[in-house]
């Protein structure tokens, strides 16, 4: 019955789809970022545009997302980003799907190692949707979505070159141009970035090329063709095992991490058609192909039992191919607006692991994932000041996993999932909007999780995780300050994990995937920005988060066939600090020089599920500066960790065995003070 209701809502949306740019509009497009205002939204969202990104001059996307309350993003190994929104992450290793939909130009990117590989200089906007967002993006959007829209051609001729140098061998070179023609426009950008990294063997070489060609068919329609190519070679070296190693070997020179030496090729192509019908409707259709082809080494030959041998166990090859088509239609009347969409995905993963030492086994798995989904949005203006919004989506997900070396663990599985969002936005006055909503999200078990259970003779009847996010907030402006404040509760049910922990690997142990826990996150988020004077501006992001387990019966390994059962109910979810602050000032010293000090602070958090080990918080000070020589030329620089504080950037400890201590913890020691300078020339 539940599935039928969601399907009926989706079909109804398809039958009555609308949108309008001037009266009342649908602003939840998943294909094109035409609707950038968040003032009339019913849930907490934030937008960072290209001007803000250029002002920050970031090296990675974590530095951008730090300015958004509700996000605690951490950079782990190399460029791998650990995303938390409202206390939700995958809670497993460092590379699985993060519980956050990462969407680039409408494509839900499924990179297998948790990376967000994109040229930051090519980003037009980053929209952060917090709370369950499966109503737009389907599977895995249980905590929200990071929606990235890259730059598109403009009706002008302009170019830019940029270079930057800094600590740890950092070099960056970039050139871009925008050309406008009579009936078309072209945007091209190329960049090269390299660094030796703070940690030993933490090198990264990234070659990137992107291009978009926009052809105007007539006054009401156009097509955009996009192509991007990234070639990335990266190492590891960031993590150490235990607090002793973190003290004597912070750069991880004496040991290797579990996976390293990535050789990655990313190729993305898309074609989008857009058509405006009169003044109140629009159709967009986008088809895409995304290739993520990587090789890397994993495991380690540990003859001495200390994890220090310079050797890995396996050479791995993984290829993700994503093919899809998305279509959206919008239409509006004076008091209502509709959007209807269809999302069809045909994804394939081909993976193999080749032993590098005798006694190990070759494995190869091919996985097909088919997604067929419909979704819609309906807005209705109840009064001049009160607007209601309803979203709904229905997903049919099919897995077909073929284990080429263990046919018995091959599986076929289907999941049918519905998700929704409903809420109100009340315009108190021209400067203030009050909003409230409930939104849902889901994450289906992966094909690998189902196959692993099947191979070991355990249940394959794993339910999808589900999230219900309730929130109320207010946004607007008050004098010189823009603000957005919200309180929320997020209930996460049926968390999928291993019954005896992720690091119990012996084949004779009863350890399998199941719905092992439920969690609750409660919090308060505050974003403030504005100008204290004509020369002094500021941006503040504050997050209060209380994330804890409401159910978690954990089997702790003692010996073969012998476990301690731990009740972890009411324990804090690990790696979720209660307080996070990002504060930046922009001070203009004269007409051309700007100084931008920044403070990043996180309170203490637990490193493990049993809440036995608490990791202390830290505060960092960064300093950025820019000097405009003239209207075309800008010099910029920054100092990260200005006070050269010692801190742990990431800490994770498993409780799989009773013998665990902090010497078993995975620790990434934060980089020391570092310096960067660059120049940007626009013409």
- Asked if residues 638 and 57 have their Cβ atoms less than 8 Å apart, the reply is yes
What's the N-to-C CA distance of the chain in angstroms? 61
- Predicted pLDDT of residue 293: 92
Averaged pLDDT for residues 346-372: 93
- Asked if residues 269 and 289 have their Cβ atoms less than 8 Å apart, the reply is yes
3-class SS at 95? coil
Please write the tens of the pLDDT for every residue from 138-164: 998 898 988 888 888 888 899 999 999
Least confident of 36-50, 360-374, 379-393, 518-532: 36-50
pLDDT band per the 50, 70, 90 thresholds, residue 455: confident
Pairing relationship of beta strands 633-640 and 674-682 according to DSSP bridges? antiparallel
- Asked if residues 371 and 138 have their Cβ atoms less than 8 Å apart, the reply is yes
Pairing relationship of beta strands 336-355 and 314-332 according to DSSP bridges? antiparallel
Q: Is the pLDDT of residue 11 over 80?
A: no
CA distances (Å), origin 224, targets 215, 328, 488: 6, 16, 39
Q: Is the pLDDT of residue 13 over 50?
A: no
Q: How many CA atoms lie within 13 A of 293 on its CB side?
A: 9
Q: Is the pLDDT of residue 218 over 60?
A: yes
C-alpha–C-alpha distance, residues 125 and 106, integer Å: 13
Please write the tens of the pLDDT for every residue from 70-125: 887 766 555 566 677 888 865 555 445 667 888 888 777 765 544 566 777 888 88
DSSP character for 115?
Answer: B
- Asked if residues 197 and 167 have their Cβ atoms less than 8 Å apart, the reply is no
Q: Is the pLDDT of residue 303 over 70?
A: no
3-class SS at 471? strand
Q: Is the pLDDT of residue 330 over 60?
A: yes
Cα angle: 311, vertex 665, 656; to 5 degrees:
95
Which element (helix H / strand E) includes 318? strand 314-332
C-alpha–C-alpha distance, residues 673 and 121, integer Å: 24
Please write the tens of the pLDDT for every residue from 238-291: 788 889 999 999 998 888 777 888 899 999 999 999 999 877 889 999 999 999
- Predicted pLDDT of residue 95: 47
Share of the chain above pLDDT 90, in %: 53
- Asked if residues 547 and 519 have their Cβ atoms less than 8 Å apart, the reply is yes
Q: Which residues pair with 381 in a beta bridge?
A: 387
Please write the tens of the pLDDT for every residue from 607-639: 888 888 888 999 999 999 999 999 999 999 999
pLDDT band per the 50, 70, 90 thresholds, residue 307: low
pLDDT band per the 50, 70, 90 thresholds, residue 21: very low
Least confident of 34-43, 356-365, 373-382: 34-43
- Asked if residues 308 and 249 have their Cβ atoms less than 8 Å apart, the reply is no
Please write the tens of the pLDDT for every residue from 573-582: 988 899 999 9
Domains of the chain, with CATH numbers? 2-682 (2.40.170.20)
C-alpha–C-alpha distance, residues 330 and 29, integer Å: 9
C-alpha–C-alpha distance, residues 368 and 370, integer Å: 7
How far from the centroid of its chain's Cα atoms is residue 274's Cα? Answer: 27
Q: Which of 155-164 are b and which e, b meaning 16 or more Cβ less than 10 Å from the residue's Cβ? A: eeeeebebeb
User: Which residues neighbour 39 within 8 Å (Cβ) at sequence distance 6 or greater?
Assistant: 433, 475, 476
- 3-state secondary structure string across 631-657: CCEEEEEEEECCCCCCCEEEEECCCCE
- Predicted pLDDT of residue 40: 74
- Predicted pLDDT of residue 563: 78
Q: What are phi and psi of 455, to 5 degrees?
A: -65, -30
Q: Which residues pair with 128 in a beta bridge?
A: 46, 146
- Cβ-count burial of 369 within 10 angstroms (0-12 exposed, 13-18 middle, 19+ buried)? buried
- Predicted pLDDT of residue 666: 85
Which element (helix H / strand E) includes 180? strand 170-180
Q: Is the pLDDT of residue 345 over 80?
A: yes
How far from the centroid of its chain's Cα atoms is residue 422's Cα? Answer: 24
309 or 498, greater pLDDT: 498
- Predicted pLDDT of residue 9: 35
C-alpha–C-alpha distance, residues 328 and 343, integer Å: 9
209 or 458, greater pLDDT: 209
3-class SS at 218? strand
- Predicted pLDDT of residue 80: 60
Least confident of 44-58, 326-340, 616-630, 655-669: 655-669
3-class SS at 259? strand
């Amino acid at each position: 019955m539940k599935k039928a209701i969601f399907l009926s809502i989706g079909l109804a949306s398809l039958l009555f789809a609308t949108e309008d740019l001037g009266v009342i509009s649908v602003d939840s497009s998943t294909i094109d970022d035409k609707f950038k205002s968040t003032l009339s939204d019913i849930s907490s969202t934030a937008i960072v545009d290209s001007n803000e990104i250029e002002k920050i001059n970031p090296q990675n996307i974590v530095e951008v997302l730090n300015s958004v309350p509700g996000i605690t993003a951490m950079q782990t190994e190399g460029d791998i980003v650990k995303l938390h929104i409202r206390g939700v992450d995958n809670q497993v290793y460092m590379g699985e799907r993060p519980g956050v939909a990462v969407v680039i130009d409408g494509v839900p990117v499924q990179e297998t190692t948790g990376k967000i590989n994109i040229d930051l200089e090519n980003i037009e906007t980053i929209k952060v949707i917090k709370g369950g967002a499966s109503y737009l993006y389907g599977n895995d959007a249980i905590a929200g979505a990071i929606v990235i829209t890259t730059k598109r051609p403009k009706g002008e001729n302009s170019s830019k070159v940029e270079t930057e140098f800094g600590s740890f061998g950092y070099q960056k070179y970039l050139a871009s141009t925008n050309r406008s023609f009579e009936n078309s426009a072209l945007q091209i950008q190329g960049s090269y970035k390299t660094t030796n990294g703070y940690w030993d063997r933490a090198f990264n070489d990234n070659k990137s090329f992107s291009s978009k060609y926009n052809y105007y068919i007539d006054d009401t329609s156009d097509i955009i063709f996009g192509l991007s190519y990234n070639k990335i070679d990266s190492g590891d070296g960031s993590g150490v095992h235990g607090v002793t190693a973190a003290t004597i070997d912070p750069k991880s020179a004496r040991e290797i991490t579990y996976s390293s030496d990535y050789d990655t090729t990313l190729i993305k192509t898309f074609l989008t058609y857009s058509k405006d019908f009169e003044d109140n409707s629009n159709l967009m259709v986008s088809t895409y192909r995304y290739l993520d082809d990587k090789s890397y080494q994993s495991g380690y030959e540990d003859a001495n039992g200390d994890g220090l041998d310079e050797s890995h166990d396996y050479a791995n090859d993984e290829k993700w191919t994503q093919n899809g088509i998305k279509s959206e239609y919008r239409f509006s009347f004076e008091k209502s607006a509709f959007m209807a969409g269809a999302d069809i995905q045909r994804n394939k993963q081909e993976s193999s692991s080749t032993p590098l030492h005798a006694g190990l086994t070759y494995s190869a798995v091919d996985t097909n994932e088919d997604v067929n989904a419909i979704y819609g949005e309906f807005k209705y203006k109840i009064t001049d000041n009160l607007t209601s919004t309803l979203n709904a989506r229905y997903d049919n997900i099919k897995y077909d996993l073929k284990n080429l070396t263990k046919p018995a663990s091959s599986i076929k599985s289907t999941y049918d999932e519905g998700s929704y969002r409903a809420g109100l936005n009340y315009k108190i006055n021209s400067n203030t909007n009050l909003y409230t909503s409930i939104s849902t999200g889901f994450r289906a078990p992966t094909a690998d999780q189902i196959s692993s259970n099947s191979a070991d003779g355990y249940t394959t009847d794993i339910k999808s995780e589900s999230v219900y996010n309730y929130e109320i907030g207010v946004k607007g402006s008050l004098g010189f300050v823009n603000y957005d404040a919200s309180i929320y509760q997020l209930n996460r049910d049926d968390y999928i994990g291993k019954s005896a922990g992720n690091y119990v690997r012996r084949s004779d142990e009863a350890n399998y995937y199941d719905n092992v826990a439920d969690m609750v996150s409660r919090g308060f988020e505050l974003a403030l920005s504005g100008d204290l004077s004509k020369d002094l501006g500021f941006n503040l992001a504050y997050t209060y988060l209380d994330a804890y387990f409401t159910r978690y019966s954990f089997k702790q390994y003692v010996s073969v066939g012998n476990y301690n059962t731990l009740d972890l109910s009411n324990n804090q979810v690990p790696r979720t600090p209660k307080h996070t602050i990002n504060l930046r000032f922009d001070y203009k010293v004269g007409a051309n020089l700007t100084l931008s000090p920044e403070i990043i602070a996180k309170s203490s958090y637990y490193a493990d599920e049993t809440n036995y080990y608490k990791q202390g918080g830290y505060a960092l000070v960064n300093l950025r500066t820019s000097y405009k020589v003239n209207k075309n030329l800008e010099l910029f620089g920054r100092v990260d960790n200005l006070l050269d504080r010692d801190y742990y950037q990431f800490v994770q400890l498993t409780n799989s065995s009773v013998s665990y201590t902090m010497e078993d913890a995975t620790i990434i020691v934060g980089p020391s003070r570092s310096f960067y300078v660059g120049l940007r020339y626009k013409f």
